[in-house]
Amino acid sequence: MPLYSDTVMDHFQHPRNVGKMEDADGIGEVGNAVCGDIMRMYIKVRDGIITDVSFITFGCGSAIASSSMATEMIKGKPIEEALELSNKAVAQALDGLPAHKLHCSVLAEEAVRAAVKDYYDKNNIAYDPAVFGCDMACAHEHDHTPTEE
């Protein structure tokens, strides 16, 4: 059995919304190079809607695929909906990830939230800090232990 699903391989080999965004309204970066994966997510926001999104990622195939899938899932969506994006939903949309790669989907969820937080901070938009409870330092050390899909 191959390591990755066809969907993961498709998003890895043909990543959607990849690249830097010069005029982003919010930028979120999570992970660290010592652990072996870093995701940076850019969002553009108009009237509470994420009108554009892009990413750049240093990491394995599943990290790149998770980033790509996450951008597709939040593009054109209201910010509130983007904040509800779960790592589980990302992994499901990718037709599953190997157990030892699930942290990649956690990183994708966190990258989206970090970008939104940055947008809120830059625009002095009030929010409940509890929404961004974790410090997003390194996904491996996080407590959301997802189960295999």
Partner 1 sequence: MYVYADNAATTAVSPKALEAMLPYFSEVYGNASSLHSPGQRAAEGLQRARETVAKAINADFKEIYFTGCGSEADNQAILSGAALGARKGKKHIVSTAFEHHAVLHTLEKLKKQGYEVTLLDVHENGVVTPDDVAAAIRDDTALVTIMMVNNEIGTVQPIADIAKVCRERGVLFHTDAVQAVGHIPVDVKALDVDMLSMAAHKFHGPKGVGALYARKGVPLVNVIEGGQQERGKRGGTENIAGIVGMAAALEEATADLDKDMAYVTGLREKLIEGLSKIPHSRLNGDREKRVPGTVNFCFEGIEGESLLLLLDARGIAASSGSACTSGSLDPSHVLLALGLPHEIAHGSLRLSIDRMNTEAEIDHIIESVPQVVDYLRGMSPVWDELERGLTPHLI
Residues that bind partner 1 (CB under 8 A): 9, 12-13, 15, 18-20, 29, 33-40, 55-61, 63-64, 100-101, 140
Cα–Cα distance, 149 to 146 (Å, whole number): 9
Nearer to partner 1, 40 or 75 (CB): 40
Name the catalytic one among 35, 60, 134, 138: 35
C-alpha span between 94 and 6 (Å, rounded): 8
Catalytic residue list contains 35: yes
Q: Which is nearer to partner 1, 89 or 138 (CB)?
A: 138
CA distance 54 to 35: 22
Greatest CA separation found in the chain?
49
Distance CA 127, CA 43 (A): 18
Catalytic: 60? no
Q: Could you tell me if 108 and 69 are in contact, meaning their C-beta atoms sit under 8 angstroms apart?
A: yes
Report in angstroms how near the CB of residue 116 gets to partner 1 at its nearest.
18
Of the candidates 60, 104, 134, 138, the residue annotated as catalytic is 104
Rounded least distance, CB 101 to partner 1, Å: 8
Give the catalytic positions in this structure: 35, 104
